[in-house]
Chains A and B, each alone.
Chain A
Amino acid sequence: MITKSNLYRKEKVYGYLFILPPILGLLIFTLFPFVYSLYGSFTDWDGLGQMNFIGLDNFKDLFSDELFYKSMYNTLFLMLGIPIGLVLALLLALGLNRKIPGTTTFRVIYYIPVISSLAAVSIMWNWAYNGDYGLVNQFLEIFGIKGPNWLMDKDTVKPALILMTVWKGLGYTMLLYLAALQSVSRSYYEAAELDGASGFQMFRNITWPMVKPVTFFLVVTNIIGGSQIFTEMNIMTPTGGPEYSSASIVFYIWDKAFKNLQMGYASAMAMILGIFIFIVTLIQFKMNEKSSFDGD
């Protein structure tokens, strides 16, 4: 009996040791900053000196802060790229799932933006969008269209950013869809074919439900990622764009915290953003539960 308990004890210690690093990481790099920031959101901390507790003042100020609403709206607007990206990627994946020559090359081409550095990609698109010599406008000129100065105009800066983020994320989304498509058993399609189902019917009743878990995963991660979009605008429109029209919420948080000595206020915004992401994700999980595919 004694040996057994010793063994058990030893194993238990090793077990804890093995899970210690990630738990420590979580505590130090996630939980601690989170609690710190939560406390900070109730103070007037400037990021340098002492913190004075001011209760809910930061949150009260937020509700009358025009730029907070603006950057929140911008962030949501930029998320229009998510459905566009999903549809495009699924179509691409369907195309590349066929047994035709050259698909590997195309897969690589679509995946290159994913592995490229976001900063480098942003600088490249910055040139492409230049109103004067940019690639985009030169292309439009072929059709006799005079393109705008994309990043300097408050009406075009957001669509321009959406186009870029869709392009950047396409390869990743496509790859996941491709994997999902390839895991769908051929026998479903064969059975449907025997029943005389059309291509569209097969897509609607077999493909779409079968890739649903992937769609769900992508929607959730894209919305979380989309809420935190920052690098693109920081490089392409370093002042937040004309009239702050391309500033995302994280950009505004960064602006307040690191440029304007209002760490407490920025923390309050970060809390609101966190709550927002939490609620949206919760809703998605609930919706997914309701309509989940039972054939799985």
Chain B
Amino acid sequence: MIKKKGFAITMVVLLLMVAALAGCSGGSSSSDGSKELTFMFRGGTDEQKAYKEVIKKFEEEHPGVKVKMVVTAADQYATKLRAAITGNNLPDIFYFAPGDVKAYVNSGVLKNLTPYIEKNKDIKLDNIWKYGIDLYRYDGKMAGQGDIYGMPKDLGPFALGYNKTMFEKAGVPLPDKDKPYTWDEFIKVSQELTKDTNGDGKPDQYGTGFNVQWALQAFVWSNGADWLDESKTKVTIDDPKFAEALQYFADMQNKYKITPGIEQSQTLDTYQRWMKGEMAFFPVGPWDMSTFEKLPFEYDLLPFPAGSTGKSATWIGSLGIGVSSKTKYPDEAVELVNYLTTSKEGMKQLVDAKVQIPNLLDMADEWSKDTKTKPNNKQEFIDIVNDYGRSLPGNYTYNAEWYDIFFTDIQPVLDGKITAADYVKQEQPKMQKLLDKAVEQEKKSQK
């Protein structure tokens, strides 16, 4: 008898604990009776500070709602979010990557925001970047259309910056902000600016230093090639135009020597070299503006050099803010999302903190015309969003494994150990196999 009873007690306790664990998800009432929302996000220190301020303001304007913020390091964010989903312990409001929309909608993680947005008269969708909203639309089959499952936190047009002070010192004519360099011109200018300034026989000022993972797209696209075909089911890196762009990218280091060599090519380095004023060209994202404010030199934006299409190209990053489908307070949660993404008050604070470009079209227009703040040519950011920016290839597919492996294997090309032409030939079937798997997975998740 005793044995049985003890066992029963154990089981009951166990069940209670499991139930308690499962019950952790979603919003909860805090002790003083107000509605508590959890908001999980990531960002640099300046960004975090800006968001904390905005949320404080939101709480002031919405008595009875408390927001608990969970901040994680950028590289751990995705893992933490996935773990929260798997553990059924999702925050009410959270950032997510546009590439995850399909998977999260198919598995019922995200709340459909459309009815809430339609209900709210303060939101004018036609005053927000269409590109940004479309990133978070999905109709169950195709991304980019249908209901809205998130609002863009912002858009991150990845522009090219240049060190104006360095140009002036070297007597090199400043680049034209409306006419991109050709590839040849870009090499020529970079070579002029690659210099040994302290006479130790090694250059300590370089033309540029791109990170392949974030800058190769600009060269591939402007040369008329891409990673994927229209249907997003075929890997097209074996296109000669693609190989040509990749070879050009690798040659910047090996042939033209306008970037730090193999030993110096780590990302950390090039970012720091740019900040120290030892680099003529370097990509600039809007999130860098607050950091670059304190640069010891003048900088401005220009379009990326143009390949055989004659047109400049680059990508636009974005993060969406979504609401958990299991939240207890959907109205309040959506209200917060709107405050952060579409309200004038919220947006103004974030833009003033120099961590992003405005989401609102009228505000963006005004902002880009303000030439008193750095960088002067903010219009370039706006042009990228309006005219020629694209989404990263990995965003189109159910997972980005096929795309990631391209960069995992690329070091020998950058080091000049194999040619770009050989690389794309050897890599295409490998990537295609992984892409096929992703496509198959997506089909399975739809039913």
Contacts and interface: CB of A to CB of B under 8 A. Distances in A.
Nearest to B83: A258
B399 A261 contact: yes
Nearest to A154: B411
Most chain-A Cβ atoms within 10 A of its Cβ — which of B79, B108, B263?
B263
B406 to A, nearest CB: 11
Interface string A1-40: 0000000010011001000100010011000000000000
A243 B409 CA distance: 4
A49 B107 contact: yes
A239 B264 contact: no
A232 to B, nearest CB: 14
A242 B411 contact: yes
Interface residues of B, number: 42
Contact of A48 (B104, B260, B265, B412): B104
Interface string A243-281: 110000000001001111111000000000000000000
Nearest to A25: B17
Contact of B264 (A50, A131, A154): A131
B146 to A, nearest CB: 19
Nearest to B80: A258
**By DSSP majority rule, is chain B's interface helix, strand, loop, or mixed?**
helix
B114 interface: no
A160 B2 CA distance: 59
B14 A46 contact: no
B82 A47 contact: yes
Contacts of A9: 2
Contacts of B445: 46, 48-49
Contacts of B265: 131, 149, 152
B408 A152 contact: no
A239 B408 contact: yes
B2 A261 contact: no
A244 B266 contact: no
B76 to A, nearest CB: 9
Interface string B86-121: 100000000000000001101111000000000000
B142 interface: no
B401 interface: yes
Interface string A141-160: 00000001101111000000
A152 B265 CA distance: 9
Contacts of A44: 441, 444
Given A46-B103, A131-B263, A258 B79 contact: yes
A46 B100 CA distance: 12
B380 to A, nearest CB: 29
Interface of A: 9, 12-13, 16, 20, 24, 27-28, 44, 46-50, 52, 130-133, 137, 148-149, 151-154, 238-240, 242-244, 254, 257-263
13 contacts: A16-B6, A24-B17, A49-B108, A132-B266, A149-B264, A151-B266, A238-B75, A240-B408, A244-B408, A258-B78, A259-B78, A260-B401, A261-B399
Q: Which 4 A-B pairs have the closest CB atoms?
A: A49-B107, A48-B107, A131-B263, A242-B411
